[in-house]
């Protein structure tokens, strides 16, 4: 079975970052957008990140403009929005497609149960979350309406961190 480790994300400087760099960590992968009703989740995601990052937890954000054009920004403008306006310190990658014909291979994997063995749900909107264990395997997903501070999500993260 595949893991997230054979994929990469494009950083804002254009360099590829292998997801192998997150090997051994519990990872939450989120598709984001700056003009979405759920954009307020950036602050909750940052709190979640600060709470667990020293215990081997990482959040990876992948902006997408796939849902009604709610992520019109790219490049430096998008990075500035996330880093300065939302005060996010976890990794944010270049804008990608998370569904459809041009779907990024990572999100194709995350949403295909035959590939990941666990989850067969594509993002229905911005801020869909995929939870990955320390072995790089998809173990769960959470819809956009699930707050990053929800007890359900935090309990799952804590269980994976202590394994």
pLDDT per residue of the chain (163 residues) written in tens, 0 to 9: 799 999 999 999 889 999 999 999 999 999 999 999 999 999 999 999 999 999 999 999 999 999 999 999 998 898 889 888 899 999 999 999 999 999 999 999 999 999 999 999 999 999 999 999 999 999 999 999 999 999 999 999 999 999 8
Task: Please answer whether residues 149 and 47 qualify as being in contact, where contact means their C-beta atoms are separated by less than 8 angstroms.
Answer: yes
Tokens of 126: 């911005």
Q: Can you list the domains of the chain with their CATH numbers?
A: 4-162 (3.40.30.10)
Residues with a catalytic annotation lie at: 36
Whole-angstrom Cα distance, residue 128 to residue 160? 19
């Amino acid at each position: 079975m595949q893991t997230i480790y054979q994929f990469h994300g494009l950083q804002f400087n254009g360099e590829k970052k292998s997801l192998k760099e997150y090997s051994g960590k519990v990872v939450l992968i989120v598709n984001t957008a700056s003009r979405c009703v759920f954009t307020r989740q950036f602050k909750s995601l940052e709190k979640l990140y600060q709470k667990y990052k020293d215990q081997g937890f990482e959040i990876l954000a992948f902006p997408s403009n796939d849902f009604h054009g709610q992520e019109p920004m790219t490049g430096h403008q998008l990075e500035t929005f996330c880093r300065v306006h939302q005060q996010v310190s976890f990794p944010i990658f270049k804008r990608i497609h998370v569904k459809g014909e041009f779907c990024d291979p990572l999100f194709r994997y995350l949403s295909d149960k035959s590939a990941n063995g666990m989850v067969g749900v594509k993002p229905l909107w911005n801020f869909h979350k995929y939870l990955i264990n320390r072995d790089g395997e998809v173990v769960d997903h959470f819809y956009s309406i699930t707050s990053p501070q929800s007890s359900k999500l935090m309990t799952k993260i804590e269980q994976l961190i202590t394994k």
